[in-house]
Structure 1
Amino acid sequence: MLENTFTERKNTFRENKVVWKNRRTGIMFILPWLIGFAIFSIYPIITSFYYSFTEYNILKPPQWIGLGNYIQLLNDDPLFWKSLYNTLYYAVFSLPLGMVVSLVLAMLLNTKIKGLAIYRTIFYMPTIVPAVASSILWMWLLDPQMGIINAALSYIGIKGPAWLVDPAWAKPALILMSLWGVGGSMVIYLAGLQDVPEELYESAELDGATWWPKIWHITLPMISPTIFFNLIMGLIGSFQYFTQAYIMTGGGPMDSTLFYSLHLFNNAFRYYHMGYASAMAWILFIIILAATLLVFKTSARWVYYGGTNQ
């Protein structure tokens, strides 16, 4: 009896030793990533939070001012509200439009037609074009005098707007440009569409369903997790819209394209108000977090997993 107990303990000790050895090996493999994550992610986040309560311009040590940056943002900075409005305007119009266009393209490219791989490649290619190159291209396309878009409109008797130099058309121009990059979302939708069982469509056809009831009652519910994913990613990306506005308009004309991230960038790297920019970054984080949580809260009503509402 004692011998059996001793043998069991000995085996348990050996097993624990092997488990610890494997665990230690795993930790050693991920240690470089953990160190990099701590240095380049966790430390900047903590530092940014501290700087948001200070007056800091890089050249001098930070001085603690408490909630001064946040109070100034909310009460004394008209560009803060202007940039927030521009960002919300862009998100409200570009996100639904981009989701609809990418979904329609994915449904069209999910059919069995000749040369399907070529069409998929063509629609996806703009996604891999660098943002700077695509911005310069669209500056040419949207040129009010020499641009192809206004030239095409003139052929059908429509005088094209001034686009990027007109405050009323600058944001719509950037929203139009955003459709250029829907190929990434299109591919994700396409993957979701290919997972929809064909048997559901066949059963619906036997019951006399036409194309729209099949889309509404089968396609959309079955790919609702994919729609949910693209919605979250698109929402976050819309609130962080920066590169195209920075290159194409610089926030103009008349601050009509001064998006929140661009205003934050100007304060941080043009005016060197690092503490002020840090406060802006944390406000943006709170806004994105609140919007994301709201979408998550509503997802239980319309997102389906495995045919059941979660």
Structure 2
Amino acid sequence: MLTPAILGLLVFFVYPLVANLYYSFTSYDLLSPPRWIGLRNYTYLFTQDPRVAAAALNTLWLVLIMVPIKILASLGVAGLLMKARRVSGFWRTVFYLPALVPPVASVVAFVFLFNPGSGPVNAALRSVGIAGPLWFNDPQWSKPTLVVLAIWVMGDVMIIFLASLLNVPREQHEAAALDGANAAQRIVYVTLPAIAPVILFAAVTGAIAALQYFTEAAVASGVASGKSGVYTKLSDVMGYPADSLLTYTEWLYARGFGSFQLGYAAALAVVLFVVTAVFMGLLLRRFDAFNPDGRS
């Protein structure tokens, strides 16, 4: 009974993983047979690649800044929706709908909204005497603008938090209130421990998605630079402006399928896999909700 699942795991996970590890030690361009070169790909990655450091730092920024902000925003909105009982169905739909919009369409819409010259956001700011920034055209504001986009499409995470909040036993809140706990104390000592596994789930899935962040950053760079098109190479607009939106997976894609350096791209993928595994291990180990008895 387990044979189909085991075969699928071997063919679609174990074999590609082992093959990628092998190719990372070779020079391979997809057209000629791979040639063994040992650790040269890894040596180049850690000592000579001119853009991998910027890509790694941008990805780390997304993990440490964007993911927590999205989780906090989703949790806050879910808490507010619990209070709006009469029209909660309407507001749940309003906050969830953006999550159904395809990522490319969401990014294109946001680049238009935050266009520094003709976008409605800066037009609204100018109407009250505020000079808006360049948003996606400014290295200082490009990643924060992606955070705004992430908050706008937080509906999937928000719905999960809302379900977990509704599942917190009301009796525990009433008992805490009788013991003299105020609203903040009830949140800290009743609500958060009850939804801790859901917070862990949101943190793990959010961090994995941020480590693989590709579509939004690539489309934002292309559209904001004005060079997006069918015949435009991704490497020509990648990271615009000034490599501020260059993510690790973008650089991996560019080296593998833009420059046909498949061996080096495989080495980049191995490093990403190791970093993701270590990061997830530390996160799960530190999070008490991972253990049923609450022990670290």
The normalised TM-score by structure 1 is 0.86
Larger Rg: 1
- Alignment of 1:217 onto 2:189: yes
> Are 1:234 and 2:209 counterparts?
no
What is the DSSP-based 3-state SS (H/G/I as helix, E as strand, rest coil) of the residue aligned with 2:141? Answer: helix
Q: 1:81 aligns with which of 47, 50, 53?
A: 53
Q: 1:186 Cα shift?
A: 0.8
How far, CA to CA, are the matches of 1:181 and 1:305 in structure 2?
Answer: 30
Tell me which of 138, 153, 177 is aligned to 1:205: 177
Runs of 4+ in 1 over 6 A off after TM superposition: none
Q: Which residue, 268, 271, 295 being the options, matches 2:283?
A: 295
1:99 matched to which residue of 2? 71
Cα offset, 1:229, TM superposition = 1.0
Matches of 1:65 and 1:195, distance apart in 2: 56
TM-score by length of 2: 0.89
Residues 127 and 184 of structure 1 are in contact (CA less than 8 Å); yes or no, is this contact kept in structure 2? yes
Q: Which residue identity does 1:61 align to in structure 2? A: P
AA aligned opposite 1:53: F
1:137 is matched with 109
| Distance in 2 of aligned mates of 1:37 and 1:153 | 53
In the TM superposition, what is the alpha-carbon distance from 1:212 to its structure 2 partner?
1.1
Name which of structure 1's ranges 140-149 and 93-102 shifts more when overlaid on structure 2. 140-149
Q: Kindly provide the CA deviation profile for residues 65-106 of structure 1, in whole angstroms up to 9, marking residues without a partner as x.
A: 011100000000121111001111121110110110000011
Query: Alpha carbon RMSD of aligned pairs, Å?
Result: 1.7
Alpha carbons 1:222, 1:304 under 8 Å: kept: no
Alignment partner, residue 294 of structure 2: 309
Q: How many residue pairs are counted as aligned between the two chains?
A: 279
Q: Is the 8 A contact 1:221 1:304 kept in 2?
A: no
Partner of 1:53: 25
SS at match of 1:168: coil
Aligned partners of 2:284 and 2:290 also within 8 Å:
no
AA matched with 1:101: A
Specify which of 267, 275, 299 is matched with residue 263 of structure 2.
275
**Cα distance in 1, alignment partners of residues 19 and 55 from structure 2:** 25
Q: 2:82 is paired with a residue of what secondary structure?
A: coil
5 Å-filtered alignment, 1:143-154, equals 143-154=115-126
- Change over 3 Å in CA distance of 1:304–1:52 after alignment to 2: closer
Letter in 2 for 1:256: S
Q: Percent identity?
A: 38
Gapped regions of structure 2 (runs ≥ 5): 222-237
State which drifts further: 108-117 or 61-70.
Answer: 108-117
| CA spacing shift, 1:251–1:304, aligned 2, 3 Å | closer
Q: Which amino acid aligns with 1:104?
A: G
